[in-house]
Structure 1
Amino acid sequence: MSPLSSYRRLIALAGPAYVAVAFLGRLPLAMSQLGTLLLVSDATGRYTAGGLAAGALAVANAIGAPVAGAIADRFGQRPVVLAQSLAAGVGLTVLVAAVDAGLATPLLVAAAAAAGLAMPQVGPLARTRWRPITHRTGAHQRRLVDAAFSYEGAADEASFVLGPALVGVGAVALSPSGALLAAAALLIVFGSWFALHPTARLAHTLRPDTTSGSRRFVTSAFLALALAQLLIGVIFGATQTGTTALATAEGRPGLAGLVHALLGVGSVLAGLATAALPERFGYQRRILVFAGALLVLSAPLLLVGSLAALVPAVLVLGLAIAPYMISVFAAAEQLVPPSRVGAALTVLAGATGIGYAVGSGVAGRLADLGGHRPAFAVTVTAAAVALLAAAVRARATGGPGRRLRPSEPDQPAATTPGAMAAASQD
């Protein structure tokens, strides 16, 4: 089955509306951090205040998302994501009102944290739906799930390119407040639609029996995957900071966002192409190979001295990012018990956010001392650590070709006529 036919089959199984809704539902998360930064900075005249508010939103989301994922695993995605979408939409609106009212910075930071705590992680939760969606495809299921995870990785990258761009356009055409209110509206409409879509119930009713077997998923193998995602977050944060430092030094700080967006462009293209990788090229081996690619492709950042030279370097680096992330998420989905997939994937998403905060913070301090090259050195160091960690993990488990969970068959989840009827009636 070719990648193109796999993608067509996935759209036929889930429906075009679901694919569109799941993509639009993840845009508000990508918009909210930059939107908060611009809104609070513009209102207070201090980037420090804006950075604190945006950081509080990101960290609160990293903490709250795994909790929401665990609750969704227990009670289903529908009530959890619906409540989150409505609460976070209201939370962003309250943040705008608080800024308009001229409240003190600590209160603005608290409002931003509250909105971030409630915001759903649509991307990871969408990933958990694809195995139940493809449950009747028999021998093709593993290939289709691989393609689904490739698409989801590309969709995440696309959202983090398009989201900030929409914030920039909204801030210019309307205002920073208008941009954040647009994010709130998208969240209330498409986040709720994602919650209410029939696939939400399908994902909960067509899982294997969750009353038997271990519900524990925080193992050494899973922690290694969480570390991998944290390091990707460090790469994101450090690369964006280095790009900003270089653009500012050239007197064109406004170009920093556009140049950094090229990281996502390359990543989207590579993510979609990942579906063509053969099944025998297992996830653990992919993580090792793409970690090596991260190190090789990030090294040229240390040599760039202008934005013109940075453009191809960032674009090429993106080619390794999505395949690496896709492999990590797919490995986690196979590794953890089926009843804990939602919690596990949201933990990985939270680790990425924390890594971003660490990377941007460390790189920012180094950029203040020595410019863009020390900041990019953080990117290269994170890639080296990712490769070392992947190599150590491969050696500890008997080689990169070993399956993470040999006992897990690539077969559809057990279903019952009653479960199918309940899902189809929704």
Structure 2
Amino acid sequence: MSAVAAYRELLRIVGPAYVLVAFLGRVPLAMSQMGTLVLVSDATDRYAYGGAAAGVLAVANAVGAPFWGTLADRHGQRGTVLVQSLAGAAALVALVAVADATPWVPVAVSGLAGLFIPQVGPLARVRWRPIAEGAAAGRGNDPAYRRTVVDAAFSYEGAADEASFVLGPALIGVLAFVGEPSVALLVGAGLLAVFGTLFAVHPTAALTKVDRSAVPATGRLLVPAFVLLVLAQAWVGVLFGSVQTGTTALTTAAGEPGVAGLVHAVLGVGSVAAGLTMAAVPERIGYATRSLVAAVALLVLATPLPAVDTITQLVVVVLFLGLAVAPYMISNFALAGQIVPEHRIGAAMTLLAGATGIGYALGSSVAGRLADAHGHTGAFVVPVATAVLAVLTAFAGQRASRRSRA
């Protein structure tokens, strides 16, 4: 089955409405961090407070994600995501209300919002395996068909995540420009309340409720192979954070600070395009091999970054770097689906997403210090070093994943 045919099959199985709901349901998370940064910075006239609020939101979301994922594994996604969506939307509205209060207040409310905003992308991945199994049952339980559907679904989800993190900040920028920063964050809250709720109550949510009587007594989540995947996703976050910081340093030095967001969005554009092609990769090439190849591509494509001196050069390098990002992430998430016990899959997917968020905060911090001391060149050393670590982790993951499936 071709990649195009596989994507058509996904739409046939679940319908276009579900795909739209699941995509728009993840956009508020992508809007929240930059929206918080812009809102609090504008209200307090201090970037430090805005940065602190955005950072607390990101870390709270990363730390809370595995808790909500475990809850969804135990009780199903419907009630869990519904509570998260409504509480997260209310917290974003509250953040708008207290944005100009004593600085610690919006920082605290930002953390509360981050804690509740659902990780729709990872949770959507959890649904695809039972969806594929149900579709395959109508075709004589054809394993090749099931594998094709799952591969296409994970490729799409990786591309959708990248697209949401391009669209989210862009929406914040447009809405803040035509209105106020508060309007931008209120729109994010409205999207979360509507599409988060629709995602929660969609019939596919019922497929994620596990029969606890059938759950085996054994089945650890933190096996070595999965720990390596968590580390691999942390490296992706470090790369994102450091590239964004280096981009901001270069564009600011060039007298075009407002261009930073657009340049960073180019990374997402390349990643989306590459992610959609992953459904065409032959089945004989395993996920661990795909992850290793993508990690090597990250290293090769990140290596020119420290030599970049102009915005035009940076756009070209970042565009090509994006071509390795989605394949790397898609392979990691798909590999986790193979090695993690079925009744822990929600916790696994959200933990991987949380590791990406923690890595982002770490990458931004380290690259920021290097940018202060050595400019954008210093910041861009971080993604190159991170790509080396990604290759080493992927090598270790090859052997660990084989042992976990043995």
Do the two structures share a fold, i.e. TM-score over 0.5? Answer: yes
Structure 1 residues 404 and 9, CA gap change in structure 2 (3 angstroms): farther
Query: 1:377 pairs with 363, 377, 381, which one?
Result: 381
CA distance in 2, matches of 1:280, 1:337: 23
8 A Cα contact 1:208 1:338, kept in partner: no
Residue type of the alignment partner of 1:239? V
Does 2:341 correspond to 1:350? no
Aligned counterpart, 1:420 = none
Residue type of the alignment partner of 1:9? E
Aligned counterpart, 1:20 = 20
Aligned counterpart, 1:91 = 91
Does 2:174 correspond to 1:176? no
Q: How does 1:308-323 map to 2 (within 5 A)?
A: 308-323=312-327
Does 2:54 correspond to 1:54? yes
CA distance in 2, matches of 1:354, 1:212: 31
Query: 1:121 pairs with 100, 119, 133, which one?
Result: 119
Structure 1 residues 405 and 208, CA gap change in structure 2 (3 angstroms): farther
8 A Cα contact 1:57 1:115, kept in partner: yes
CA distance in 1, matches of 2:21, 2:214: 28
The structural deviation recorded for 1:209 is: 6.5
CA distance in 2, matches of 1:393, 1:348: 15
CA distance in 1, matches of 2:30, 2:48: 20
CA distance in 1, matches of 2:160, 2:6: 16
Structure 1 residues 68 and 366, CA gap change in structure 2 (3 angstroms): same
Aligned counterpart, 1:37 = 37
Aligned counterpart, 2:390 = 386
Count how many residue pairs are aligned between Structure 1 and Structure 2: 399
Does 2:301 correspond to 1:303? no
The structural deviation recorded for 1:334 is: 1.0
Does 2:227 correspond to 1:219? no
Give structure 1 stretches of 5+ with no counterpart.
407-426
Aligned counterpart, 2:139 = none
Q: How does 1:181-200 map to 2 (within 5 A)?
A: 181-200=186-205
Does 2:7 correspond to 1:7? yes
Give structure 2 stretches of 5+ with no counterpart.
137-141
Q: How does 1:94-113 map to 2 (within 5 A)?
A: 94-99=94-99, 102-113=100-111
Does 2:262 correspond to 1:258? yes
8 A Cα contact 1:133 1:203, kept in partner: no
CA distance in 1, matches of 2:197, 2:332: 28
The structural deviation recorded for 1:203 is: 2.6
Greater helix share, structure number:
2
The structural deviation recorded for 1:375 is: 0.5
The structural deviation recorded for 1:213 is: 4.4
8 A Cα contact 1:77 1:204, kept in partner: yes
Residue type of the alignment partner of 2:190? A
Aligned counterpart, 1:409 = none
8 A Cα contact 2:229 2:397, kept in partner: no
Residue-by-residue CA offset, 1:180-201 (whole Å, 9 max, x unaligned): 0000000000000000000000
Structure 1 residues 265 and 81, CA gap change in structure 2 (3 angstroms): same
Tell me the secondary structure at the aligned position of residue 303 of structure 2. helix
Query: 1:167 pairs with 167, 172, 175, which one?
Result: 172
Tell me the secondary structure at the aligned position of residue 25 of structure 2. helix
The structural deviation recorded for 1:404 is: 5.1
Structure 1 residues 170 and 220, CA gap change in structure 2 (3 angstroms): same
The structural deviation recorded for 1:220 is: 1.0
CA distance in 1, matches of 2:58, 2:127: 25
CA distance in 1, matches of 2:300, 2:213: 44
Question: Which range is displaced more, 196-205 or 333-342?
Answer: 196-205
Does 2:132 correspond to 1:134? yes
CA distance in 1, matches of 2:102, 2:370: 30
Q: How does 1:226-265 map to 2 (within 5 A)?
A: 226-265=230-269
The structural deviation recorded for 1:302 is: 1.4
Query: 1:292 pairs with 273, 291, 296, which one?
Result: 296
The structural deviation recorded for 1:390 is: 1.4
Residue-by-residue CA offset, 1:114-165 (whole Å, 9 max, x unaligned): 0000110000000000011111322200111011000000000000000000
Query: 1:147 pairs with 152, 165, 171, which one?
Result: 152
8 A Cα contact 1:210 1:338, kept in partner: no
CA distance in 1, matches of 2:9, 2:250: 44
Tell me the secondary structure at the aligned position of residue 283 of structure 2. coil
Residue-by-residue CA offset, 1:333-378 (whole Å, 9 max, x unaligned): 1110000100000000000000000000000010011100110100
Aligned counterpart, 1:410 = none
CA distance in 2, matches of 1:295, 1:153: 20
Residue-by-residue CA offset, 1:189-237 (whole Å, 9 max, x unaligned): 00000000000002326x7964224242111111100000000000000
- TM-score normalised according to structure 2 size: 0.96
Tell me the secondary structure at the aligned position of residue 134 of structure 1. helix
Structure 1 residues 85 and 289, CA gap change in structure 2 (3 angstroms): same
Structure 1 residues 208 and 262, CA gap change in structure 2 (3 angstroms): farther
- TM-score normalised according to structure 1 size: 0.92
CA distance in 1, matches of 2:63, 2:40: 22
